[in-house]
Chain A
Amino acid sequence: MHELGIVFYIIRDVKQVAEENHVGHVSNVVMDIGEVSTVIPEYLTDCWRWAADREELLKGCGLKVNVIPAVTHCDGCGQDYGTVQHGKICPHCGSENTWLLRGNEVEIKEIEV
């Protein structure tokens, strides 16, 4: 439900980049969204359509979302595993001494102009 807020952040950043590069219209924005970032891609694209069409620079501009699978690293045994399947506890050795390697991204990867 915070997707609209995130869309406003994206629009602000894209506007800034467009200005710096003297771009009049952006045709596509590509996002890297981590699987456990709490951002839901479908909601993000819905909010995007609503908000982007209200900006001259972004009228009709697409939003492409690359989902980055979440991977957790275990300091106990040194192995990596899928966060969504196994959560906080390492399936290899049972350790809780684990941390998220990737999957929390909410990044603007690039824009097409």
Chain B
Amino acid sequence: MDGVRVIEIKKSVFADNDRDAEALRAELKQRGVYLLNLMSSPGSGKTTTLIRTINLLKDKIRIAVMEADIDSDVDAVKIREATGIPSIQLHTGGMCHLDAEMTRQGLDNIALADADLVVLENVGNLVCPAEFDTGAVCNAMILSVPEGDDKPLKYPLMFSVCDVVVINKMDVLPYFDFDLERCREYVRLRNPKARVIPVCAKTGEGVDAFAAWLLEEVRKWKEE
């Protein structure tokens, strides 16, 4: 009988995905498409914030949305009805995140072909989506006031991969022990470059700042 043979691999499980993501980003650069990966916990107001943002930008640039969820198409339908822009639903088949290959499959959809900005609304979850590079140009996340200002400490990876942290539901600030300055400090600890933008998606307050930042990002991506 043969003995046991050991084959050394020494390879990160994420290596293939990281390679796919780099390839996708290079392709997006060539096509002049800006892909924003938007992440958050369930119920933080991703879809509402997105609708507000899209309505501020849709006359300036061509926008499309990919909604990723484990099941259902409620978000894709909601976006389409509220904004009139193309929106497709991706199902992750039970998985808690999207990877670069799933993102590419979504982007191959004809409805998204000529967009300047594609927003990927990732699965609501602060852990898993942070692990997988989707090929997006930029990662952003939404943290809502009721979740608490300590989340950057509890989910360090999510906050270190995001360049923008939108703080949503600012209208309920008086009812929660949420300290905005403390939150900024915690975010800075995870990623000194991260920009913090407080908004209230319900009233629209502050969303213009997020939209202006996004518009500038899209312009830079196309020109530089």
Partner of B95, one of A4, A10, A17, A112: A4
What 0/1 pattern do residues 87 to 109 of B give for CB contact below 8 A with A? 00000000111010000000000
Q: List 23 A-B contacts (CB under 8 A).
A: A1-B128, A4-B95, A5-B96, A5-B99, A12-B16, A17-B9, A23-B7, A38-B127, A38-B131, A88-B189, A88-B190, A96-B189, A105-B12, A106-B12, A107-B10, A107-B12, A109-B9, A109-B10, A110-B7, A110-B8, A112-B7, A113-B5, A113-B7
B14 interface residue (CB < 8 Å to A): yes
- Chain B residues whose CB sits within 8 angstroms of the CB of A38 once the complex forms: 127, 130-131, 157
Interface residues in B, total, Cβ within 8 A = 27
**Residue ID in chain A nearest B130 by CB atoms:** A38
Question: B residues 46-102 with Cβ under 8 Å of A?
Answer: 95-97, 99
The SS class assigned to the A binding surface is: mixed
What's the minimum C-beta distance from A30 to chain B, rounded to whole angstroms? 8
The answer to whether A21 and B7 have CB atoms under 8 Å apart is yes
A108 interface residue (CB < 8 Å to B): yes
- Chain A residues whose CB sits within 8 angstroms of the CB of B190 once the complex forms: 88
B1 interface residue (CB < 8 Å to A): no
- Chain A residues whose CB sits within 8 angstroms of the CB of B8 once the complex forms: 109-110
B110 interface residue (CB < 8 Å to A): no
Leading 10 A-B pairs by shortest Cβ distance: A2-B128, A108-B9, A106-B13, A110-B8, A9-B13, A112-B4, A5-B95, A113-B5, A111-B7, A107-B12
The answer to whether B9 and A13 have CB atoms under 8 Å apart is yes
A27 interface residue (CB < 8 Å to B): yes
The answer to whether B4 and A9 have CB atoms under 8 Å apart is no
What 0/1 pattern do residues 27 to 63 of A give for CB contact below 8 A with B? 1100000001010000000000000000000000000
The answer to whether B13 and A111 have CB atoms under 8 Å apart is no
- Chain B residues whose CB sits within 8 angstroms of the CB of A1 once the complex forms: 96, 125, 127-128
B17 interface residue (CB < 8 Å to A): yes
The answer to whether B4 and A113 have CB atoms under 8 Å apart is yes
What's the minimum C-beta distance from B37 to chain A, rounded to whole angstroms? 16
The answer to whether B131 and A108 have CB atoms under 8 Å apart is no
- Chain A residues whose CB sits within 8 angstroms of the CB of B128 once the complex forms: 1-2, 5
**Residue ID in chain B nearest A1 by CB atoms:** B96
Partner of B4, one of A4, A13, A27: A27
- Chain B residues whose CB sits within 8 angstroms of the CB of A23 once the complex forms: 7
Q: How far does the alpha carbon of A106 sit from the alpha carbon of B12 in the complex, in Å?
A: 6
Q: A4-B95, A38-B157 are in contact. List 4 more A-B contacts (CB 8 A).
A: A5-B128, A9-B13, A38-B130, A111-B9
Max chain B Cβ within 10 angstroms of own Cβ: one of A21, A28, A107: A107
Q: How far does the alpha carbon of A113 sit from the alpha carbon of B8 in the complex, in Å?
A: 11
Q: How far does the alpha carbon of A5 sit from the alpha carbon of B14 in the complex, in Å?
A: 11
Contact A107 B11, CB 8 Å, known A9-B16, A38-B131: yes
The answer to whether A112 and B13 have CB atoms under 8 Å apart is no
